[in-house]
Structure 1
């Protein structure tokens, strides 16, 4: 029985005082926070379960519930159990930080002494640690006669240190952030690798910087940023610096600005390489807006639309009109794409639970993303965040979908049951299993089953099947999963994607209020449509002036302002956006200049086609010849309908080769017709959506 010292004290106290003890009592006796006691009680509860006992709570007091016989067995085990002051995770953390601090191989005996375990135990811990480090391209090398050494690039070692803390001590890190918010000064023992003053310094600077800018950081992103930057500073101070390399990531001016400002007020000297790394850490943590990350909003817009369409088709459920889902993904995907492009990992503590709870949704999203990223896949932790967006849109806690599996196994009942058992364990998506012999299969209707597996080759089968080994090898598991992924749309065609949560009927909204809201939103929709179509202009320019001059004239001619004098400000914002990431659309001769501004009163859309092409920076950082300049301007504050229309038009321009040809044709009649068809479809869908709701 493995117990920490605190857990053993809690169990002994509960056994002695059967009337119960409060959380505050344990906190006072153990000299730790209430949150720490709650974590210990969770582990205590697991220990009690092994003795057929449970932890009950009466009002504010905790007690052990169960028979006296089982309590006696627990007391006997406690008497013989030797408590450890640290968990295996804490021991591995000690090993990792000690090895990361060594320039030369370190003797195993010295390492064992430092950690407080035997040489054999230290060696076992190192085996576990080595396996965990492998995906991060860091290895634990053992040199005969010399000792143990951590081998890998400095950047990878820093990432390993940060990942281990975030993965195994996330609750303690939350405690740390809460302490910082409350301006407490206590240090945390297990966190001794990084001076607490360094953490405080970064926290104060970042909080002030975020407050002075329009950027935001999610809680988990901020925690990762804080730990990574603290480790970076500590490693530099300890003499471990990054290897010189050429900058490979496309960063924003604001990322460089943050790094430069941080460098000026930091006590730790930062080289150009380290300053660049700080900029990378900051940009990977902030919630990127539509002009950041090297992936302009137009491409993100298209990616999100196609992702939603693909998942909808695979699951046979229409999510294309869910604007909340669209907006959520539009906010999340720029950061996800930036991390993907630059090989930056993110830790999601809920990944395993999400994947287990939404297996088919996870599979559908994985396939959709691979299609959009040319066969590449996002990391599991990254995809889990995307699954949550879709899971929320589907308003469910669990997929209630039965995938019926026919197992043909003529080699005997034992082999059949072995295969069925292996399927339940390795492919939980297959929820119904029917086992048939060669004779039985002739009587069955194969169309009643979504997937057919056979342990022998079949002659003239009624439908496709997969040949598998009765023991279901790893390759068989991959084949089954691949089959499900490829045939998911067909499987889902006759099924429903339902919520496992009980649907609570809401009180009906009074008809007058509901109708009034609907009419108001419809008025805004029609006003936005009229504004776009009434002033749609497609003109030609043969002047040969600079493209900046052409763009300035477009703003002058098309912007609908609340007051005069805003043309210069709007033009400057468009140029600033272009400098941030380029606005030429890859693989086309078009560039889309778009912005929202407080002085713009109505939506407007215009195209100017030039006689000569201008070589402009594209959204993919490459140069493209452009002779079609598209300008779309919008007010700063848009209604939901206006937001939907702007997003729809942005995606429409590059939706297909046909659409690209139309919008680059210079033919106003064709362009107007394309916009009218799309807007008409949007209005029809919107009214139907409101009718269904």
Structure 2
């Protein structure tokens, strides 16, 4: 018989308290909910363990011999991992995909702490899942389990499975610290190989390409590690067509292989297909070269997006085209919308997005206007337009649009003529306060968003930013052209934050303003002090069940009746995705007469759940944010709650805070947000009175 660790703990409580234990004692001892206790009782009874209830106390039934058997079982039974069936099946699939020898069912059973019969059942589901990729599961009696598939497909599916199941923080913590991990996915590839690959990539690749996310860095480490493991076992790729413009990436791969070979006592044979395969992957992960992957129809859409962003920038007088990463993300999103690759968000209000349209009303109006100009045949719902607003608002809050102009000078070798050009620019254009020189070969290591202006002495085919083509000596006609360009630039994007701010402020008379501030201060203080972060152990991977667990763990004085609140949350989930784009969090919020006061709480999940995010991508959610409010809210209460939801999605640093921050860090951040709002209110009142 196999028991979970939690079931063993419950049985241990029964054995230590032969007069019985209450449900409350079990809840407090194990830190689980009443519903979870009853569910475990049901599973124990299925294993023919008698549990009797007498006057609210539970104990194990049976004679002395039977109880001795239970005690022996608790002490000697293999504890079954709490890993969900879905994760276990994926662990089996990943192991089969990367293995170079047949795998044994008994080994899977031992590694995953389940019975052989359970593995046999899991294999049926694994086989169906692999069939979708035209991958065949081979079962040979006496030999074991193996996979039959094209090598390229095999490697790619393996990496995809791993990326979906590995948390970035856990991966790097495991990789860079002398610790072991209970995560079976982290143990599929030998840690020594991962460390060697990581070290060689840092020296040969990571300094030469721009990797904009930890996920992409992990992807490259896994791709190179999987390729080496399979290649060293003699597993060959079919012909791989090198993508265009991958010559320099092939150079990086050769450099990597040379470094890796030095770590081995025996030689490693890598053929051209492996080089081309890895070079293509590097090209895909280098975000500066994302434009190279567009086909003709996508390229046409990207041009429209560029015009759209330019029009919005000129309308609100803020340069949104500075950051290529912003342009890339927005372009990919718009391509999916225009080509109908994703379903539109519903034409019903989504509070977290709707609040942005009020906070950035001038920017939102420009987006609405120019979307219809550049994409007249692609009608979007209000929620979908507000999601596009989110991209712009995020860029606005993170970008420094100061008027001390910075310039990047691009030339062939970075010496000689570039120094002459820099000196000429400083002399002729004193408004350019800082100039950096870059060679073309090191361009992908530079954050282009830090520069207002870009000058180049050679043509840059497919370059992601507007630039001025000039000669090294900066001729008179070029100076005149640049002067005109700077005048236009300053007219389009003036530094005048008081009158040109994208965020509009609407002020009322001082007395009303002061009253509103005092109410907001009290409400904000209560909301911040009530913030909690709780841990949901062994949570279900079904979102509805997670909602019920979150509500069950909420303060008993917060909700009068849980069922109507749960139904409201379920209705919200069915209306539109609740995952936050580019994060590992989901925001659930609702208003109900059954809720007594405003509340903001967070729940960390033992088992991550897969959810659709608002930008139509699948994300792995490891923390659920729950925002609850009564039906009747004052304007000030509604405003502060909107500020909280807006803050969550406003920047990458905020997403990281609400994903990984502890209770005190999040309380302090929200307190700062509310204090800033109070200061603005006081300043506004003072200005109005004057």
Q: Which has the higher contact order (CA 8 A, sep 6+)?
A: 2
Common fold: TM-score over 0.5? no
* TM-score normalised to structure 2 length: 0.43
TM-score using structure 1 length? 0.43
